[in-house]
Amino acid sequence: MSADGMLLAQAPDGVPIITRGDDLAALLVPVLERLSWPDGSTGLAEGDVVVVASKIVAKAEGRLVAARDDAERESVIAGETVRVVAERERPDGTTLRIVENKLGLVMAAAGVDASDVPPGTALLLPEDPDASARRLRRGLLARTGVRPGVLITDTAGRPWRRGVVDMAIGAAGVQVVTDMRGSRDAYGRELQITVIAVADEIAAAAELVKGKVSGRPVAVVRGMGHVVTLEDGDGAASLIRPAVEDMFRHGVSQD
């Protein structure tokens, strides 16, 4: 937390259209350097977390594939699917599937994105978002001298709540969970809720300033320096609940 405990977040405009082969760090640095902060500083500072929408990472990495019709798109989704978690027929006869994808993420359509891509195509998620985050972090350090935390984020729904929120699917230099085991409450008892998904909360805060239609796929969150680490760390893969802890893999009560 910054000295006065304030969190600040902003999403600059002017991020260029990203296409296959682009050096993301090289394109983002000029945009990030234009950021101005209330204390008069500009650009990035140690302790900042750079939050990047997975969409532009995937585009730079050439994750665009052909999906010329519904059947081909379904085939693309099936190719990314490891396990169907739930499915429902839509009124129009198509099937909505929540699946576990190759990254272990549970999402609709395996996270395959058919919006903001040229017609007849679909966008897969980055193949290894944590590696992408580490690569971007190195690129930002090389160009700015600052070693920010980096999160790569995607959007997903929730089983029992309406609407979508952003979450971290890639991370470098961010302690993705704060583990409060051993902390005690005001009555001296050990806290029951010990693991806070800080990276997902930072992703959500960043989405508030990025938005979905305004062409601002990158945000910087300042004030979370206490979860920014020198080492790249375990990444966002460590946010995925192991199968053995998954209470919804077997026997959800049926009514």
Contacts to its own copies from residues 151-170, by CB under 8 A: 155, 158-167
Using CB under 8 A, pick the residue from 122, 201, 217, 218 that binds its own copies: 201
Distance CA 22, CA 55 (A): 13
- According to the binding rule CB under 8 A, does residue 117 interact with its own copies? yes
What is the spatial distance between Cα 225 and Cα 202, in angstroms, rounded to a whole number?
Answer: 12
Site for its own copies in 43-82 (CB under 8 A): none
Give the count of residues interacting with its own copies (CB under 8 A).
83
Q: What would the two tokens of residue 135 be?
A: 């690569």
From 9-17, 23-31, 67-75, 144-152, span contacting its own copies (CB under 8 A): 9-17
Amino acid in position 26 = A
Determine which residue in the list 123, 224, 228, 233 makes contact with its own copies, applying CB under 8 A: 224
The CA distance from 60 to 206, in Å, is 21
189 binds its own copies (CB under 8 A): yes
Using alpha carbons only, what angle is made at residue 113 by residues 10 and 221, rounded to the nearest 5 degrees? 15
Cα dihedral angle (255, 160, 241, 126), rounded to 10 degrees? Answer: 130
- Considering only residues 77 through 96, tell me which ones interact with its own copies, judged by CB under 8 A: 83-88, 96
Query: Which CB atom, from 60 or from 139, has the smaller least distance to its own copies?
Result: 60
